[in-house]
Amino acid sequence: MRIARFFVRRDSICAFVTLLVVSILAAGCDDRVTAERAPVRAPRAQSSATVTGADEVFATIDGVEITLGSVTSAVTAGNSSPSVFAFSAETAGVLTVVVRGQGDADLLLDVTDSLGQRLPKGRSDQDLNDDGGAEQVVVTIPRAGDYRVEVLAWGAGGPFDIAAGWISFPALGRDPDPDGLPTDATELVPGTPIDDQIDPSSGDLWDWYKITAVDAVVVTVLTEAPEGDLVIELYNDGEFGDYENRSDQDLGGVNGNESMTVQAQAGQTYYFKIAPAFESGQTIPYRIRVGIM
Ligand SMILES: [Ca+2]
Ligand SMILES: [Ca+2]
Ligand SMILES: [Ca+2]
């Protein structure tokens, strides 16, 4: 039975330099506003392969075939370059991915949607048994579509073993969240507050908003939520894998009250993701507003 179609993409980044820069930036800021960020991803080349059964090839890297249910060796090539496996699920299901580093590299494993947004429970940097390269995830794939598995490294990369398993499970399917993708973000308008909520029980895990600056202005986004703990994450257009800035300041001692200020450039669109601070499952009603100076 045809299960899914997988592709591979790889590229080069310099995670060490990124870490250094982020560390320097973070040292000069409120640590609750600028939190730890993963190595930044760069554009990738890609090749592809097709899955037609559980024992078939699901991806290739430089001609090395990767088979569902079998262990394959791969390398985060060069200077901390991630290996990126893009796959196309044909149903909802459960994806299991296991990575074991073969050197000293501290690896990370991410499962994301097609825009690079990490899925719930989609990251592993747990360093199993105190081994920085030992990572694994079991991730619910909520519906048919395109997704990615990324193996990154803090600092230098290296060789690793990887294996993946797939369970087609259509009953786990969920309807799309209407504002669950940055491409479906709601436009923020100054003077017009919006009342919305996060409702994980109905698949509403987070909300996306955006604003486009017509001039060079200062944009401030505020949330108010009397119950529940929210964060605001700022993303630049087209870079939805890692946030540019994050607010979990709990203003005035209220966990859902946050603010994010951006020195906006004319013509640029800025994206704001309102999300729970924790995957608690709690419904969190909130009001969001934007001000421009
Ligand atoms: Ca790790
Ligand atoms: Ca939503
Ligand atoms: Ca908060």
Integer-rounded Cα radius of gyration of the chain? 20
Q: Is the confidence at residue 47, as pLDDT, over 50?
A: no
Position 147 in a domain? yes
Distance CA 8, CA 151 (A): 11
Q: What is the mean pLDDT of residues 13-22?
A: 36
Position 107 in a domain? yes
Q: How does residue 119 score in pLDDT terms, banded at 50, 70 and 90?
A: very high
The environment of the single-atom ion ligand 1, i.e. residues with CB closer than 5 A, is: 106, 125, 127, 132
Position 242 in a domain? yes
The lowest-confidence range among 6-15, 35-44, 148-157 is 6-15
Q: Are residues 189 and 209 in the same domain?
A: yes
Q: How far is the CA of 183 from the centre of ligand 1 (A)?
A: 31
The lowest-confidence range among 63-72, 205-214, 252-261 is 63-72
Q: Are residues 161 and 200 in the same domain?
A: no
Count: domains in the chain: 2
Given 137, 172, 207, which residue is the final one in a domain? Answer: 172
Asked whether 153 and 15 are in contact (CB, 8 A), the reply is yes
Q: Are residues 132 and 160 in the same domain?
A: yes
**DSSP string covering 85-117:** EEEEESS-EEEEEEEEESSS-EEEEEEEETTSP
Q: Are residues 108 and 222 in the same domain?
A: no
pLDDT of res. 29:
37
CB-count exposure of residue 68 (10 Å: 0-12, 13-18, 19+) = buried
Q: What is the mean pLDDT of residues 263-275?
A: 97
Nearest-ligand number for the alpha carbon of 202? 2
pLDDT tens per residue, range 28-44: 333 344 444 555 554 34
Q: Are residues 264 and 168 in the same domain?
A: no
**81 or 162, greater pLDDT:** 162
Nearest-ligand number for the alpha carbon of 126? 1
Q: How far is the CA of 142 from the centre of ligand 2 (A)?
A: 14
How far CA 189 is from CA of 119, 210, 235, 245, in Å, comes to 29, 9, 18, 21
Position 42 in a domain? yes
Q: Are residues 245 and 139 in the same domain?
A: no
Q: How does residue 291 score in pLDDT terms, banded at 50, 70 and 90?
A: very high
Identity of residue 279: E
Q: Are residues 10 and 135 in the same domain?
A: yes
Asked whether 118 and 36 are in contact (CB, 8 A), the reply is no
Q: Of the candidates 270, 138, 149, 283, which has an alpha carbon nearest to the alpha carbon of residue 205?
A: 283
**39 or 152, greater pLDDT:** 152
Q: What is the DSSP letter of 155?
A: S
Q: Are residues 164 and 19 in the same domain?
A: yes
Q: Are residues 27 and 160 in the same domain?
A: yes
Q: Which of 64-68, 148-152, 263-267 is predicted most confidently?
A: 263-267
Q: How far is the CA of 35 from the centre of ligand 3 (A)?
A: 13
Asked whether 283 and 197 are in contact (CB, 8 A), the reply is yes
Q: How far is the CA of 278 from the centre of ligand 1 (A)?
A: 21
Q: Is the confidence at residue 27, as pLDDT, over 60?
A: no
Q: Which residues contact 8 (CB under 8 A, 6 or more apart)?
A: 46, 47, 48, 49, 59, 60, 61, 66, 83, 84, 85, 86
CATH number of the domain that residue 65 is part of: 2.60.120.380
**DSSP string covering 1-69:** ---EEEEEEE----HHHHHHHHHHHHHTS-TTTS---PPPP---EEEE----STTSEEEEETTEEEETT
Q: How does residue 9 score in pLDDT terms, banded at 50, 70 and 90?
A: very low
Report the chain's mean pLDDT, rounded to a whole number: 81
Given 143, 172, 201, which residue is the final one in a domain? Answer: 172
Q: Residue 99 sits in which domain range?
A: 4-172
Q: What is the mean pLDDT of residues 186-200?
A: 97
Q: Are residues 138 and 235 in the same domain?
A: no
Q: Are residues 213 and 129 in the same domain?
A: no
Q: How does residue 212 score in pLDDT terms, banded at 50, 70 and 90?
A: very high
Q: Is the confidence at residue 290, as pLDDT, over 50?
A: yes
Nearest-ligand number for the alpha carbon of 223? 3
Tokens found for residue 16: 């060490």
pLDDT of res. 242:
83
Q: Is the confidence at residue 18, as pLDDT, over 80?
A: no
CA dihedral angle for residue 209, residue 245, residue 82, residue 107, rounded to 10 degrees = -120
pLDDT of res. 264:
96
Position 286 in a domain? yes
Given 150, 172, 194, which residue is the final one in a domain? Answer: 172
Q: Is the confidence at residue 94, as pLDDT, over 60?
A: yes
Q: Of the candidates 274, 247, 268, 271, which has an alpha carbon nearest to the alpha carbon of residue 259?
A: 247
Q: What is the DSSP letter of 214?
A: S
Position 177 in a domain? no
pLDDT of res. 1:
35
pLDDT of res. 48:
38
**59 or 283, greater pLDDT:** 283
| % residues pLDDT > 70 (the chain) | 76
Nearest-ligand number for the alpha carbon of 259? 3
Tokens found for residue 147: 């997704």
Position 215 in a domain? yes
Q: How far is the CA of 196 from the centre of ligand 2 (A)?
A: 9
Q: Are residues 186 and 167 in the same domain?
A: no
In this structure, the chain runs to a length of: 293
Tokens found for residue 35: 């939190």
The lowest-confidence range among 57-61, 193-197, 236-240 is 57-61
